[in-house]
């Protein structure tokens, strides 16, 4: 069955999209626009404003005015929580619509898009409850003595205006993972969606106003790289939260250093999955396979390196290859589709180049997906073996459905192999020995460890990476802390 997006597509094509700055929906100051494509067909589905540095400046001004007026941060935590809950309810009520927008401009299967948005609304509710728990400490007793008495305490305050720069691989989810804790903290926001996937962000902006956020609390500027650069450079922005490539993350650090902005970075990965002989293979094989093939491998923590203990190597390789060959690749609106296209023709060529490079360097392809649709930016799921650690398909993030499988002898061998990367975002462990899980989890250099599962997250648990996979954390109490400053107050009593 195919989910018919026709009415939504027509509405998207015919709509005169505008950016949200303050209380106004407006075109770019330059009047320039850019096109948004459906990666499943290659067709243009929308035209949106091409905001630039001047539009960013206007959005930052609106956010600064909102912050200075205390229209949002000055509300009680209960009142802020009510607005966040209302926003979550509106997202739930429009879940299918928002999901269809993400399918249209990202290409992911409808089921995945729907699941992401359902999870995202729970993040809003979680941080709505956390907004009432933002408090400091009282250290009066530590300072006071019989001769002098102090009232000393800390206050937790919003960092100010936060610039949120979103990735394209989970558009609505990326928006809300950053916005939920930032709003709960009391920040005012300027949000720059990825230029490939701006549509759900604009719809979320409409729902945010309906939910009751004061004008200027959320500002959304659609644009290209110069808009993102202007946001990072702007002296009126106190914090940048970015999800994207490690290369761009490094550039953001260099630029943010000029004004010493606070920075949170959620960057790339080359995550290992480890399957031991004692694993439950009915769980391990399909989970390891989908850790890389889900969302067409366009997940920062995708399990792109699979290490299998030697006795089970052939069985696991055969099982993963069979899954790769059987997956239904197609349009995300088709209910039979299990993985969709990659985001763009440029990304398709990049992934295909890596597959060709793997062959040239001497690795063997043992599994490859079936035929692809005639239109769109599709790539076959591909499984490699006999790859050397020095090969680029082993070392570099491909961001596509390409898996490298390598055998190992024992724990002492596999831990150094798993850690032999400049990244450290995630890792999977498959074994029925709980002691082995904890011992290996303690030695793996990654911010997220999944045992006998993969990719699980929750608003109460922080998400982020070691090494070049990023700085700071999203979600969890650490995610909220990233949008707060701590002030120490000392009062000598007389």
SS3 annotation, the chain: CECCCHHHHHHHHHCCCCEEECCEEECCCCCCEEEEEECCCCEEEEEEECECHHHHHHHHHHHHHHHHHCCCCCCCHHHHHHHHHHHHHHHHHCHHHHHHHHHHHHCCCHHHHHHHHHHHHHHHHHHHHHHHHCCCCECHHHHCCCCCEEEEEEEEEECCEEEEECCCCCHHHHHHHHHHHHHHHCCEEEEECCCCCCHHHHHHHHHHHHHCCCCCCEEECCECHHHHHHHHHCCCCCEEEEECCHHHHHHHHHHHCCCCCEEEEECCCCCEEEECCCCCHHHHHHHHHHHHHHHHHCCCCCCCEEEEEHHHHHHHHHHHHHHHHHCCECCCCECCCCECCCCCHHHHHHHHHHHHHHHHCCCEEEEECCCCCCCCCCCCCEEEECCCCCCHHHHCCCCCCEEEEEEECCHHHHHHHHHCCCEECEEEEECCCHHHHHHHHHHCCCCEEEECCCCCCCCCCCECCEECCEECCECHHHHHHCCEEEEEEEEEEC
Catalytic residue among 130, 187, 273, 300: 300
Cα gap 143→129, rounded to integer Å: 33
Strand-by-strand arrangement of the 364-368 sheet = 364-368, 382-385, 402-408, 305-309, 272-275, 426-430, 448-451
Bridge partner list, 265:
242, 471
Catalytic residue among 130, 187, 266, 468: 266
- Burial class of residue 41 in the structure, from the number of CB atoms within 10 Å of its CB (0-12 exposed, 13-18 middle, 19+ buried): middle
Cα gap 470→244, rounded to integer Å: 10
Residue carrying structure tokens 């505008």: 18
Read off φ and ψ for residue 51, nearest 5 degrees: -65, 145
User: Catalytic annotation on 157?
Assistant: no
Bridge-based pairing state of the strands 305-309 and 402-408: parallel
Q: Is residue 464 within 8 Å of 473, Cβ to Cβ?
A: yes
User: Catalytic annotation on 300?
Assistant: yes
Cα gap 424→468, rounded to integer Å: 7
Catalytic residues: 266, 300
């Amino acid at each position: 069955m195919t989910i018919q997006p026709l009415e939504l597509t027509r509405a998207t094509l015919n709509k005169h999209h505008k950016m949200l700055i303050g209380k106004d929906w407006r075109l770019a100051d330059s009047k320039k626009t850019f096109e948004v494509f459906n990666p499943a067909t290659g067709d243009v589905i929308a035209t949106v404003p091409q905001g630039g540095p001047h539009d960013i400046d206007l959005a930052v001004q609106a956010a600064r005015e909102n912050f200075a007026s205390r229209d949002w941060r000055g509300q009680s935590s209960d009142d802020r929580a009510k607005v966040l809950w209302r926003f979550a309810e509106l997202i739930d009520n429009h879940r299918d619509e928002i999901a269809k927008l993400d399918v249209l401009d990202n290409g992911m299967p409808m089921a995945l898009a729907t699941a992401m948005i359902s999870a995202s609304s729970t993040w809003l509710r979680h941080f709505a409850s956390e907004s009432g728990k933002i408090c400091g400490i009282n250290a009066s007793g530590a300072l006071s003595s019989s001769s002098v008495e102090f009232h000393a305490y800390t206050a937790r305050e919003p960092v100010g205006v936060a610039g949120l720069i979103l990735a394209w691989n989970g558009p609505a989810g990326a928006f809300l993972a950053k916005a939920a804790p930032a709003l709960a903290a009391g920040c005012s926001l300027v949000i720059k969606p990825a230029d490939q996937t701006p549509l759900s962000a604009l719809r979320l902006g409409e729902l945010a106003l309906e939910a009751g956020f004061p004008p200027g609390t959320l500002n959304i500027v659609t644009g290209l790289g110069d808009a993102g650069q202007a946001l990072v450079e702007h002296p009126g922005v106190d914090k940048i939260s970015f999800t994207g490539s490690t290369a761009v993350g490094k550039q953001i650090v260099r630029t943010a250093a000029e004004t010493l902005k606070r920075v949170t970075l959620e960057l790339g990965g080359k995550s290992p999955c480890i399957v031991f002989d004692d694993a439950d293979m009915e769980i391990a094989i399909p989970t390891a396979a989908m850790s890389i093939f889900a969302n067409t491998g366009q997940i920062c923590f995708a399990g792109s390196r699979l290490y299998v203990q030697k006795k089970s190597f052939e069985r696991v390789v055969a099982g993963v290859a069979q899954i790769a060959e059987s997956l239904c690749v197609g349009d995300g609106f088709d209910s039979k589709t299990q993985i969709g296209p990659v985001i763009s023709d440029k990304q398709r060529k990049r992934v295909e180049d890596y597959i060709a490079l793997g062959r040239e360097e001497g690795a063997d392809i043992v599994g490859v997906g079936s035929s692809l649709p005639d239109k769109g930016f599709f790539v076959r799921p591909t499984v490699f073996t006999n790859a050397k650690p020095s090969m680029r398909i082993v070392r570099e993030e491909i961001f596509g459905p390409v898996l490298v499988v390598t055998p190992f002898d024992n724990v002492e061998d596999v831990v150094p192999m798993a850690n032999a990367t400049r990244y450290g975002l995630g890792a999977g462990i498959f074994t029925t020995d709980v002691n082995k899980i904890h011992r290996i989890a303690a030695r793996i250099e990654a911010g997220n460890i999944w045992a006998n599962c993969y990719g699980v997250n929750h608003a109460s648990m922080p998400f982020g990476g070691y090494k070049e996979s990023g700085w700071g954390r999203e979600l969890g109490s650490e995610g909220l802390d990233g949008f707060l400053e701590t002030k120490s107050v000392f009062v000598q009593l007389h």
